[in-house]
């Protein structure tokens, strides 16, 4: 396969500065300054996962305690099942949501790749998911370019 677990790890490394910059933007967060991300792509046996920012104890001033991993999983499931970003399902086709799923933006889907984030504001989560997908697609194209230049045409 073209996309590998090591490629996903590299994508997380490349995305780190952009994601940390988003978490530093006051308008992108509502309290916590960390985000949990998950990504799945064709060829992977298990999803890639990473936490960005500084995970801290829950501050009661933030309101009801949220389990970011659980919210991330729901967004991920929605995007993967519907083959579209969670914001699209929530805003345009909310009747496709299942019991317990959220009306949050935050997960992205493109060309068989699903990424989901939770911890910042929904639109920031979704931007981070999109960034991760863009980087994975870039790395996949670069991998294929290298194979072509080496005349390794068979997957």
Annotate the chain with three-state secondary structure.
CCCCHHHHHHHHHHHHHHHHHHHHCHHHCCCCCEEEEEEECCCCCCCEEEEEECCCCCCHHHCCCCCHHHHHHHHHHHHHHHCCCHHHHHHHCHHHCCCCCCCCCCEEEECCEEEEEECCCHHHHHHHHHHHHHHHHHHHHHHHHHHHHCCCCCC
CATH code of 19's domain: 3.30.450.150
pLDDT of 131: 98
The pLDDT assigned to 143 comes to 97
Query: Contact, 145 vs 127, CB < 8 A?
Result: no
Residues paired with 51 in a beta bridge? 36
Structural domain containing residue 24 = 5-53+66-149
Q: Is residue 154 part of a domain?
A: no
Q: Is 59 among the domain residues? A: no
Asked if the structure places residue 130 within a domain, the reply is yes
User: What is the total residue count of the chain?
Assistant: 155
| Low pLDDT (below 70) residues in the chain | none
61: in domain: no
pLDDT of residue 59: 92
Q: How far apart are the first and last CA of the chain?
A: 6
Q: Does 129 fall in a domain?
A: yes
pTM of the model: 0.95
| Residues whose CB is less than 8 angstroms from the CB of residue 138 and which lie 6 or more positions away in sequence, other chains included | none
Q: Which residue has the tokens 């981070």?
A: 128
Identify whether 37 is part of a domain.
yes
| Residue 119 falls inside a structural domain | yes
Q: Work out how many domains the chain is built from and give that number.
A: 1
User: Is position 136 within any domain?
Assistant: yes
Q: What is the pLDDT of residue 36?
A: 96
């Amino acid at each position: 396969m073209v996309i590998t677990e090591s490629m996903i790890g590299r994508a997380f490394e490349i995305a780190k500065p952009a994601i940390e910059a988003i978490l530093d933007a006051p308008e992108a967060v509502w309290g916590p300054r960390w985000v949990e991300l998950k990504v799945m792509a064709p060829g992977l046996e298990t999803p890639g996962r990473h936490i960005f920012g500084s995970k801290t104890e829950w501050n009661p001033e933030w309101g009801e305690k949220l389990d970011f991993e659980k919210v991330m999983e729901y967004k991920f499931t929605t995007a993967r099942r519907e083959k579209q970003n969670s914001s699209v399902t929530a805003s345009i086709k909310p009747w496709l949501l299942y019991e317990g799923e959220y009306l949050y933006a935050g997960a992205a889907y493109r060309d068989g790749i699903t990424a989901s984030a939770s911890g910042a504001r929904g639109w920031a989560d979704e931007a981070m998911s999109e960034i991760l997908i863009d980087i994975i697609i870039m790395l996949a194209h670069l991998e294929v370019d290298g194979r072509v230049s080496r005349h390794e045409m068979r997957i």
